[in-house]
Amino acid sequence: MTDKDEQKDTELEVNTDPGDDIVLEDNTEVTGADYKVKVDKLKAKIKELEKKNHELLDGWQRDKADFINTRKRDDEAKKQFLKFSKAEIISELIPVLDSFDGAFKNKEAWGKVDKNWRMGVEFIHTQLSNILSQHDLKVINPIGLPYISSRDEAIENIKVDNEADEGKILEVVQVGYELNGKEIRPPKVKVGHYE
């Protein structure tokens, strides 16, 4: 086998035309009606190819738009996942904040503790609270606000003499928390009830 034969075997012929082949002949003798028929056939083929081209372009543009929209939805889902992925660990730290609050509420026992030690514990509480608030944890303390069943957990109704206190939160037994605008623990409250 010669070098030319090997070269012929390795060359591949690629058909890049997806439609029917159109052969344009140099036929200068075609005139009149034959010429018009050929021109009409070519015009019809051009219109058909333009239509096919438009359909392919339209499909490609739709696919591209779908891809872009899917990417945007995926990015948004990722952002939401990252926002709330820390919710579990933050939820586990909330009882620690409750312990601090319980210690601070016991004024008699808290007053007996050494002042320097008390300041240190208060500093640790402030530090922890600041770190959690930097991660968008917010305290829900609705004292004095109207009771909202979708936000608050009522644990007791308190009889009130003033009609204006009807349905108002008079005491917050345990504060609630929200993370990135989503409630992760409702506040436990006592609500005024006017009779």
Residue 181 is predicted with a pLDDT of 86
Q: Is the pLDDT of residue 75 over 90?
A: yes
Give the pLDDT mean for 18-41. Answer: 67
Q: Each residue of 84-107: pLDDT tens digit?
A: 788 888 989 999 999 998 888 888
Give the pLDDT mean for 131-156. Answer: 93
Mean pLDDT of the chain: 85
Q: Is the pLDDT of residue 44 over 60?
A: yes
Give the pLDDT mean for 17-25. Answer: 55
Residue 66 is predicted with a pLDDT of 94
Q: Each residue of 114-137: pLDDT tens digit?
A: 989 989 999 999 999 999 999 899
DSSP letters along the chain, please? --HHHHHHHH--------S--------TT--HHHHHHHHHHHHHHHHHHHHHHHHHHHHHHHHHHHHHHHHHHHHHHHHHHHHHHTHHHHHHHHHHHHHHHHHHH-HHHHHHS-HHHHHHHHHHHHHHHHHHHHTTEEEE--TTSBP-TTT-EEEEEEEES-GGGTTBEEEEEE-EEEETTEEEEPPEEEEEEE-
Residue 69 is predicted with a pLDDT of 95
pTM of the model: 0.58
Residue 110 is predicted with a pLDDT of 84
